Structure 1
Amino acid sequence: MWERIPIGRPERHSIGVVPSYEEEAVGTVGWLWNNSETMHGNPGRRYVDYSNALDCLSAAHVEWQPYNREEVQNMELSPQCTMDTQYWRSVCPLICYYIVEFHLPNRVMRQFGILQTCPPEHLSTSQELHAIDRRKQRGMKNWEEKHVAHVNAWNLRANNIVFGGPVHRDSQFKTYLEWLKQQTRLKLKVAMDATNIEDFPSDPEDVFDEYDARTRMA
């Protein structure tokens, strides 16, 4: 999250020596945050502050391709980080025993620097799949048989890869965001507290990062 959005992003300190095992670098991008500042302050105030900041978040605040920056490119990453790159844009089911979730890179083309199609190609993620759990399917022993259609789709993942398209353009992306607002739920739950953040008791340990400060001044 800290790589992509600035809300709650702490200050980073020196990362030190990247760990290695048998002369192979095993560092990941997450290692960059291994030595970061701990955020302090009144929990209630921080919760409301983060909620307000999330409400103010726009596409312009998001770092859509954080791994392309020079700092990451110069890291000696673990080979695990770049394994199977040919499948990163494959539209396919991801299977773990009884759980099946769909990988849908066609819905997040902005993250690849490619123009997001609007509306994106529809693919049902199946309410039937979401109803499967261990309690309701205790008698099931052979999940490969149960999910044979999805196993077959996984085996053919190389045939369903989203390739390049037009380069991302902000003007066209705004059209997609307007469409998305009409198609999705924008509020997940009611506010935890209706108290104005300024009415919370002050706390000398409150630390607000740069983004929080800019948001509060807006």
Structure 2
Amino acid sequence: MYLELLRDWDTQYSWGSAALAFLYCRLDRESTRTKYTSSLCGFVWSLPVWMWERLPVGRPVVKNPDNPNPNLHEGLHDQDPYRRPTISYCWDQVHVYIGSSHGRYKCYVNELDTLTVEQVFWWPYDNDRDFNINGMCTCDNLLWRARCPMIFYYVVEWNFVDRVAMQFGKLQGIPIEESKETITKLHRFSRRNNQDISDWANKYNHWISMWNQREMFVESENRPHNDSAYQKYLVWYGQHYRFKLKPGWTQEEWDELVSEDTSHAEGYHAFNMVVRETIRSQVDYAAMHDELGREFLMCMNNSTKSSPRRCII
């Protein structure tokens, strides 16, 4: 299926958009599975590189921060921009963590659920490195903000760049909402369920036409980022999606957890026993972290209302 595309290399297919479309498709499908045997396929290694560049979660520790790339090619290939190292080279010399996958999963969920906006590094890739990056990393930067469908045979995935404008240093507005019916219909297509279709180019003629005109769909918003607009976006996001992987405690659960009445403090004792019994392993602390944060903000707001003086912490 794929080798046929290599017969004529000069055709210059968009390999990057195809790989990204397939990865988006697999992320959508695998995230809905619950079996332990479920796995992820596609251009998977690009996902952790993107994550390590932007999120302080699950990020490996560089072996030597003062000299993170000891095997640098000493500029031997700098004359050829397409033989220089890529962004992933930044994560070549790191310590590999070996441990329980179940424990790591809990750790990642806790860290993601307690992540704040200020901890995310949104800015785009650039040449601010201790080496010159490969020309392929930035050669299509004019199309990075093209809001258009990406296609790979039976897979059609939208490049919703208007939802991550901050990643390009631009003002984050309220995104355009695509028809849920259209998106759901596209996600239903699979090669297994449509084996009678051999001409996907004809089937997806509409989407291919949009892809061929992708220069017309480049986002025109060029105002710089500001926090006020981003807060409005977060309100919109919270109305359509969820911020947390695991739901927080209800008020009843929290009241039971902090109750001083031992006959009603079953939640506290249960949580306390879990902490004691899971020595050197992970517990779900994100929910308590969020609740304590809300309680702290409530106390701060109440103290500010009752006294005009500013608090010193």
Q: Does TM-score exceed 0.5, indicating one fold?
A: yes
Does structure 1 retain, via aligned residues, the 8 Å contact 2:151–2:208? Answer: yes
1:142 aligns with 2:187: no
SS at 2:194's partner residue?
Answer: coil
How far 1:188 moved relative to its partner? 4.5
Q: 1:22 to 1:57 in 2, by over 3 A?
A: closer
SS at 1:17's partner residue?
Answer: coil
Amino acid corresponding to residue 228 of structure 2 in structure 1: S
Whichever structure has more helix as a proportion of its residues is 2
2-structure distance, mates of 1:84, 1:69? 15
Does structure 1 retain, via aligned residues, the 8 Å contact 2:61–2:95? Answer: yes
The equivalent position to 1:17 in structure 2, one of 71, 84, 107, is: 71
| % identical aligned pairs | 32
How far 1:187 moved relative to its partner? 4.4
How far 1:172 moved relative to its partner? 2.2
How far 1:23 moved relative to its partner? 5.9
The equivalent position to 1:155 in structure 2, one of 205, 212, 215, is: 212
Q: 1:81 to 1:75 in 2, by over 3 A?
A: same
The equivalent position to 2:144 in structure 1, one of 83, 88, 107, is: 88
Amino acid corresponding to residue 59 of structure 2 in structure 1: R
Amino acid corresponding to residue 94 of structure 2 in structure 1: S
Amino acid corresponding to residue 123 of structure 2 in structure 1: Q
Alignment of 1:163-182 (within 5 A): 163-182=220-239
Does structure 2 retain, via aligned residues, the 8 Å contact 1:10–1:38? Answer: yes
Aligned residue number for residue 132 of structure 1: 189
Amino acid corresponding to residue 145 of structure 1 in structure 2: N
1:184 aligns with 2:234: no
1:201 aligns with 2:279: yes
Q: 1:11 to 1:55 in 2, by over 3 A?
A: same
Does structure 2 retain, via aligned residues, the 8 Å contact 1:3–1:66? Answer: no
Q: 1:197 to 1:171 in 2, by over 3 A?
A: farther
- Listed one character per residue, the Cα deviations across residues 182-213 of structure 1 (whole Å, up to 9, x for unaligned) are 1113444679xx8855642238xx9xxxxxxx
Does structure 2 retain, via aligned residues, the 8 Å contact 1:18–1:26? Answer: no
Does structure 2 retain, via aligned residues, the 8 Å contact 1:18–1:31? Answer: no
Query: Which one has the largest radius of gyration?
Result: 2
The equivalent position to 1:58 in structure 2, one of 116, 121, 136, is: 116
2-structure distance, mates of 1:54, 1:64? 16
Structure 1's unaligned 5+ residue stretches are 207-214
Structure 2's unaligned 5+ residue stretches are 1-50, 249-270, 283-288, 294-313
The equivalent position to 2:134 in structure 1, one of 75, 78, 85, is: 78
How far 1:123 moved relative to its partner? 2.4
Which deviates further from its counterpart, 18-27 or 160-169? 18-27
Amino acid corresponding to residue 112 of structure 1 in structure 2: F
The equivalent position to 1:110 in structure 2, one of 131, 150, 166, is: 166
How far 1:69 moved relative to its partner? 7.2
Q: 1:102 to 1:183 in 2, by over 3 A?
A: same
Q: Which has the higher contact order (CA 8 A, sep 6+)?
A: 1
Does structure 1 retain, via aligned residues, the 8 Å contact 2:150–2:157? Answer: yes
TM-score (norm 2): 0.57
How far 1:37 moved relative to its partner? 1.2
Does structure 1 retain, via aligned residues, the 8 Å contact 2:53–2:121? Answer: yes
Does structure 1 retain, via aligned residues, the 8 Å contact 2:122–2:166? Answer: yes
Q: 1:157 to 1:87 in 2, by over 3 A?
A: same
Amino acid corresponding to residue 172 of structure 2 in structure 1: Q
1-structure distance, mates of 2:77, 2:88? 17
Q: CA RMSD in A?
A: 2.9
- Listed one character per residue, the Cα deviations across residues 124-181 of structure 1 (whole Å, up to 9, x for unaligned) are 3522211111122101111110000001001111111102332111122112112211
Amino acid corresponding to residue 146 of structure 2 in structure 1: S
